[in-house]
Chains A and B, each alone.
Chain A
Amino acid sequence: MIKKEGRITLNIKLKTLKRGARSAFIHLALMMFMIYLVFPLLWMVSLSLKPTPEIYSADPSLMPRTVSGEHYRSVLHEERVVRSILNSLYVGITSAALVVLVALPGAYALVRYKSYANNVVLGWILTSQIFPVILLMVPLYMILRSLSLTNSLLGLILVYVVWSMPFVLWMLHGYIKTIPIELEEAATIDGATRIQIVYRILVPVLLPAIGASMLFAFISAWNEFFLALVLLKSPDLLTIPVELAKFTGMEGQARTGPLAAASFIATIPSIVLFAAIQKWFSSGLVAGAVKN
């Protein structure tokens, strides 16, 4: 009897031990992933905080030996860097607001009406991913030039609205599908028109989805490089990715510290916003993939 009890406690102990070993193993594995995924960012932050001589020292270290804000100061005193950040903010915010404003009635119409247009639009959303931008770049440039919209931030905004449209439409479409139609029926009885329904009744319900779509559109505009590289020429119109790429080219190596500081500044908005929408984002992605 005593023997048996002993065995049971031993069993339980073994089990907790096993569980402990298992979670220790999971933590270890996750930690290794995090080192791979986060280390480059840490390295960049460390570079941005080291005084210039230390960056080129013979034995570099991850922790800066002396912490200095000189690179951040010098970058923020450079007019073209500040200018490019402002340009990116302007382009990102405007295009995010515009794309949602335009896509919302569109997504609504795709859910609530049934017609050929649905298949065409949803088909376009998927196929648009196959085509490399290079294919439409030159013709797009020519169309924009005939409208005097090349080398202009307004032109870039329009292009970004179209650029993030497929995904925003997809996200909003998936979300509107989950809204019960009774909500609108009540409003119709009260004599509201369709467009009133969209903006007065649906918008409040859809706020989280609208927020997530706007953040997504903002991040894609903020991060985008290729289109901005081709479409913008004047130095005072460049967005931050193009400005940073210029940094690496001509003056390159000599300015590692300021470049790291500017890169970190350019990364902050995306990371903060990404953390904010990640939960919604993942569920929305999969809802789209599985249901359709």
Chain B
Amino acid sequence: MNRHKGSGQLIFLLPVLIPVVMFSILPLLRGIYLGFTDYQLGGGIKFNGIDNYIQMLHDQYFWRSFRVGFIWTITVTAGQIVLGMVLALLLNTRIRLISIYSVLMLVPWAMPPVVRGIIWRHMYDPDAGALNMVLMSANILDKPINWLASFEYAIPAVIIAGIWGEIPKAALFLLAGLKSIPDDLYEASRIDGAGIWNEFYHITLPLLKPVLAAIISLSFMWNFNTFGLVWVLTQGGPGGLTRLPMLAAYEEAFRYGYVGYAAAIGNVMVIIVSLVLFTYLRVQYREQVLS
């Protein structure tokens, strides 16, 4: 009854494979192909090679959306990892109430992204929002700011809401990683009189590397492909300032009907994410081999 080779496996896997192939893999391949056509909603499909990509080179909306996409992805990923790490370290101590803290911290993650957007819209509301209220009663502001409609503050405002929603995921993941580090390692270093920072740098961080690499890669992909939160917060505004790549592609396909072009944007997103991940994981791997 040990591990067989055999056709038996296929029977068990078929119920998984059929829907996955039909509703995920086939449409995906078709979508990649559409990125090389001039397909518009309702029209015919004609292969046009790399025309879409040449058009992209001159499309300033495309460049703007990828620029803000990078700013968004890098700051949100960095913010959620750094803050998530601090939170995980705090939660990995033996103090009272820890189980309450660990449940409370999940709140943002558990919310539907649409609700996250709705909440933060009210936090940033110029008239009745909490942020203006707090800043004005602390005399930091003397008149309310319309955060989400301002060219200066819209991007930071969206990023802060984004980090808020993603911290729990990072913290939960890293906390589980911290728990897997044996206590005696720390005890040994404490006898040697190592400080907290030294301990973190020489024990925690190296041992956490695989977990860190995994959560950074996943977060990078997820953040680059975000849609719901920003859609509800700004719909890409003001003036397209916060139009992330996913929002740009959605508008091309479903508002203007340029499906071929939208798919081409999707293809470029896949290539960029794969390149970044490949480079990152290579550097990671090399470091591990060297050390």
Contact = CB atoms under 8 A, between A and B. Distances in A.
Interface stretch (A7-15, A65-73, A203-211, A266-274): A266-274
A76 interface: no
Interface in A220-264: 222-223, 225-226, 230, 240-242, 244-245, 248, 256, 259-260, 263
A283 B221 CA distance: 22
B146 interface: no
Interface in A124-178: 124, 128-140, 142-144, 158-159, 161-162, 165, 169
A263 B118 contact: yes
A110 B28 CA distance: 24
Nearest to B41: A138
B43 interface: no
B28 A248 contact: no
B159 interface: no
Contacts of A275: 103, 106, 110
Given A135-B28, A143-B22, A274-B109, A40 B119 contact: yes
Contact of B27 (A36, A129, A140): A140
B110 A271 contact: yes
A59 interface: yes
Nearest to A138: B259
B221 A43 contact: no
Interface in B230-284: 231-232, 245-246, 249-250, 253-254, 259, 262-263, 265-267, 269-270, 273-274, 277
Contacts of B71: none
Contact of B123 (A33, A40, A281, A285): A40
Interface string A93-136: 00000000011011011101111010001001000111111111
B13 A121 contact: yes
Interface residues of B, number: 103
B67 to A, nearest CB: 17
Contacts of A245: 114, 231-232
Contacts of B23: 140, 143-144, 158-159, 162
Contact of A248 (B95, B121, B214, B270): B121
B112 A169 contact: no
A48 B114 CA distance: 17
Given A102-B15, A165-B16, A44 B119 contact: yes
B232 A248 contact: yes
A270 B108 CA distance: 10
Interface stretch (B56-64, B125-133, B197-205): B125-133
B291 interface: no
Given A36-B164, A44-B122, A241-B228, A131 B172 contact: no
Interface in A194-221: 194-195, 198, 219
Given A138-B259, A226-B228, A55 B128 contact: yes
Best-surrounded residue of B8, B16, B35 (most CB of chain A within 10 A): B16
Contacts of A194: 8, 12
Interface stretch (B46-54, B147-155, B175-183, B185-193): B175-183
Contacts of B114: 223, 225, 241-242, 244-245, 266
B106 A278 contact: yes
5 cross-chain pairs, A with B, having the tightest CB-CB distances, nearest first: A109-B12, A135-B266, A139-B30, A139-B27, A106-B16
Interface of A: 23, 26-27, 29-30, 33-34, 36-41, 43-44, 47, 55-57, 59-62, 102-103, 105-106, 108-110, 112-115, 117, 121, 124, 128-140, 142-144, 158-159, 161-162, 165, 169, 181, 184-185, 188, 194-195, 198, 219, 222-223, 225-226, 230, 240-242, 244-245, 248, 256, 259-260, 263, 266-267, 270-271, 273-275, 278, 281-283, 285-286, 289-290
Given A134-B263, A194-B8, A278-B106, 14 more contacts: A33-B101, A34-B104, A44-B115, A112-B3, A113-B12, A117-B9, A117-B10, A135-B31, A143-B26, A181-B1, A223-B112, A260-B122, A263-B119, A271-B107
Interface of B: 1-6, 8-10, 12-13, 15-16, 19-20, 22-28, 30-32, 34-35, 83, 86-87, 90-91, 93, 95-97, 101-123, 127-130, 133, 164, 167-168, 172-173, 175-177, 180, 210-211, 214-215, 218, 221-222, 224-225, 227-228, 231-232, 245-246, 249-250, 253-254, 259, 262-263, 265-267, 269-270, 273-274, 277
